[in-house]
Amino acid sequence: MNENLLGIGEKSKKIKQMVVDVELICETANVLFTRKEMIKDYVEVPLLKACEQLYDKNIKTISSSATPRDVEAGKVNILIDYDSLSEENKNITKKIGEIWEVGGHKMAHLNIPVNSDSAVEEISMRALEIVEEFQKQKPTWFPKYTLDYLQKYQLIDPDITEKDNLSELENAGFYYDPKEKVFYVSLEHRNKATE
């Protein structure tokens, strides 16, 4: 019997996943990533590594889409908050993306052409090539709050003071930066903002 018919002696071949087969993630717009590990729950596989790299560079993504519907449209995309970019990254965006203004807020579209033969790995690599052009910047878009603000809007117990043990605030999900005297919504945000 021919061994090749049984696949004996052949290297196992990795089956390519195509973008047309990617499962749609419905809620992807305007999610505040407070931890890098959240990104996988909101970004489709072809753009996941690129969005993670943008987060590592402190660049705020507004949404992304890489689904069969995008294949029909001929492009997948990552939408970036243009207004939160450093001047250097704004200049890079002008070269590689499209700038749109909606309701007085500017957004940058990073588009990647696709078709029915586009593989997930191919699009993932292309997206990474694009976002590698960006430079790491200060994370100006991270929400931060004063103790007064948290108390005023009843986000914490009004009796807590700065002199109290801050572990109670951390249990509520707020992380203090003593230098700025503000609270961040995650430990990861605080650490990235103060590095």
Length of the chain: 195
Q: Within this chain, do residues 51 and 112 fall inside the same structural domain, yes or no? A: yes
Q: Within this chain, do residues 63 and 119 fall inside the same structural domain, yes or no? A: yes
Q: How many domains does the chain have?
A: 2
Give residue 162's pLDDT. Answer: 61
Q: Within this chain, do residues 60 and 126 fall inside the same structural domain, yes or no? A: yes
Give residue 43's pLDDT. Answer: 96
104: left (phi over 0), alpha (psi -120 to 50) or beta: left
Give residue 11's pLDDT. Answer: 47
Residue 139 lies in a domain: no
Q: For residue 51, what are the domain limits?
A: 19-131
Q: Within this chain, do residues 100 and 164 fall inside the same structural domain, yes or no? A: no
Q: Which residues is 183 bridged to in the sheet?
A: 145, 176
pLDDT in tens, 49-88: 999 999 999 999 999 999 999 999 999 999 999 999 999 9
Residue 12 lies in a domain: no
pLDDT means per 10 residues, the chain with 195 residues, are 48 73 83 95 96 98 94 96 97 95 94 96 97 97 90 76 66 84 93 92
Instruction: For residues 92 and 110, give the distance between their C-alpha atoms in angstroms, rounded to a whole number.
Output: 11
Helix (H) or strand (E) holding 194: helix 187-194
Instruction: For residues 107 and 99, give the distance between their C-alpha atoms in angstroms, rounded to a whole number.
Output: 6
Q: Within this chain, do residues 121 and 158 fall inside the same structural domain, yes or no? A: no
E strands within the chain?
61-65, 75-81, 98-102, 105-113, 144-145, 175-177, 182-184
